[in-house]
Structure 1
Amino acid sequence: MIENNDRQLLVLPDRDAAEEVAEELNARWPALGDVEVLRDALAGEDDAEDAQWLVVVEAPEDGGWTARLLAALDQLVTEQDGWREQD
């Protein structure tokens, strides 16, 4: 079952990939609204190179998450060597 109010976290290896995914999301699915790009340093890591980048995507207001939309998110993030997590 898909929770319509959960946000999705797209985890990416670097800032460029995260920003590219965010731009693509805004272009393809304007109903998602603003997406947020955040740096997520790994716990206990001192090296900034070990940081992952997150694209935070809120559920669309017009119907929430669908299996088709989640599959599209998975494909988009996989193309950038990342993955999707549900928050």
Structure 2
Amino acid sequence: MNDTRQLLVFPDRDAAEEVAEELSARWPDLGEIEVARDALAGEDDAEDAQWVVAVEAPEDGWTPGQLRGLDELATDQDGWREEG
């Protein structure tokens, strides 16, 4: 069982917010989904900031299907998934 927090990383805020809404609709048991701005390490320019959707694991942990769904949502918006 995978109970690690998942981070979906996107190049812009609109994509991150759209994915957060989709996650809430698809898996309402995930609870609060956090959208935050994350500056790239060593970058001072605000243009280089990424947007992160942080999703805590469901009570029973992530299923392989849910992790695939997260991957699909991320790649559909030019993003990716990381464990965090």
Cα offset, 1:64, TM superposition: 1.1
- The TM-score normalised by the length of structure 2 is 0.95
Work out the CA distance in 1 between the residues paired with 2:6 and 2:35. 12
Runs of 4+ in 1 over 2 A off after TM superposition: none
Q: Percent same amino acid at aligned positions?
A: 73
TM-score norm. by structure 1 comes to: 0.92
- The separation in 2 between residues aligned to 1:56 and 1:20, in whole angstroms, is 13
**Cα drift, residue 68 of structure 1:** 0.4
Structure 2, unpaired ranges of 5+: none
Structure 1: segments with no counterpart, 5+ residues = none
Task: Provide the aligned C-alpha RMSD in A.
Answer: 0.9
Q: 1:78 aligns with which of 70, 75, 81?
A: 75
1:55 partnered with 2:53: yes
SS in 1 for 2:4: coil
Give, in whole Å, the separation in 2 of the partners of 1:40 and 1:60. 24
